[in-house]
Chain A
Amino acid sequence: MSKEWPLWEVFIRGQHGLSHRHVGSLHAPDAAMAVHHARDVYTRRNEGVSIWVVEAKHITASAPGEKGPLFEPSNSKVYRHPTFYDIPEEVGHM
């Protein structure tokens, strides 16, 4: 058994938020204790109503070196932003 606990990434749904957001990471021996630790470390100031944890090794990330091909092509495609519509006032926040 390794002496070091595995790393977990923590996602919290805020009081008024619609989706879980990544808030940080912590160490824990398993998922149940990771949720306990997340509660103790990341919700002390009333930040959340729901917690997700996922072991960091299960996250697959994009490579920083591929930034160009992955993200730059969308820079020039302004028509993908819905800024050409008039939104009626009564619709409110979208």
Chain B
Amino acid sequence: MSDALFEYALRMGDNCLILGHRVSEWCGHSPALEEDIALANTALDLIGQTQLWLGLAGEIEGKGRSADDLAFLRDARAFRNLLLVERPNVDFAHTLVREVLFDVWHFHTLGALKGSSDARVSAIAEKALKEVSYHLQRSADLTIRLGDGTQESHDKMQAALNALWPYVGEMFLQDEVDAELADSGVGPALGVVKPLWDGDMRRLLDQATLKWPDIAHVQKGGKAGVHTEALGFVLADMQFLQRAYPGAKW
């Protein structure tokens, strides 16, 4: 059980960490000042959630590794995030579509984890869910505005949706870790999130006048530590300081 929960906490934490880092890359570069601050807020929320999940992982592991150790001193193969969250920002449409695909999943996953039989897990989920509800409200609103906006914004959103769609399936692939945690009531029941995600996403894409992509191919591997080359660049950027100057403090 504790091995499975360690793995699960890494997955949740790494999703938040890598997406948070990606979103933070917009800081100072966003299309408008207000959007810049909103994106930085989202990134900070995600980094805050990372501290909780990786803190829990370190505690369960019991080898004295802190959340910082786990974030800055692991190599790509040891990261457990979904491939979706490591995809590059590309443009505002890609950033936004990646966010909304993840937010809907994150929202329903945390909703299920609120009822976890493990008090530490349900406490993290409850705190994170308030932040993620706002992330989803924002990303869904912008998806509708830009999807149902000008021809140019619509085309950019549809192109981003098609490009990122192969990374959706991995969110719903379940392995023995998910099964073990579902059995013990610590994790979400198997298969509970996908129908909720499908329903929300169909309504959202309808409103945004975007087409549900006809792409069955699923890119997978992140949950097992097999990543795209994109993660290496994220880690090089994120971990450089701690690797070059071990133990350096702010």
Binding site for B on A (CB under 8 A): 5, 26-29, 32-33, 36-37, 39-41, 44
Contacts and interface: CB of A to CB of B under 8 A. Distances in A.
B38 A5 contact: no
B139 to A, nearest CB: 11
B38 A27 contact: no
Given A5-B32, A27-B32, A41 B141 contact: no
A41 B141 CA distance: 17
Interface of B: 32-34, 37-38, 41, 134, 137-138, 141, 145
A39 B138 CA distance: 11
B141 A32 contact: yes
B37 A40 contact: yes
Nearest to B38: A40
SS class, residues of chain B in contact with chain A: helix
Contacts of B141: 32-33, 36
Nearest to B44: A44
A37 B38 contact: yes
Given A36-B138, A36-B141, A28 B41 contact: no
Contacts of A33: 141, 145
A29 B33 CA distance: 13
Given A32-B141, A36-B141, A41 B32 contact: no
Interface centre among A26, A33, A37, A40 (most CB of B within 10 A): A40
A27 B34 contact: yes
B138 A41 contact: no
A40 B32 contact: no
A28 B145 CA distance: 13
Contacts of A32: 141
A37 to B, nearest CB: 4
Contacts of B41: 40, 44
Contacts of A39: 134
B41 to A, nearest CB: 5
A4 to B, nearest CB: 10
Nearest to B150: A1
A51 to B, nearest CB: 13
A36 B38 contact: yes
Contacts of A29: 145
A40 B38 CA distance: 5
Nearest to A8: B34
5 contacts: A29-B145, A36-B137, A40-B37, A41-B34, A41-B38
Contacts of B33: 26-27
A57 to B, nearest CB: 18
Nearest to B39: A40
Contacts of A41: 34, 37-38
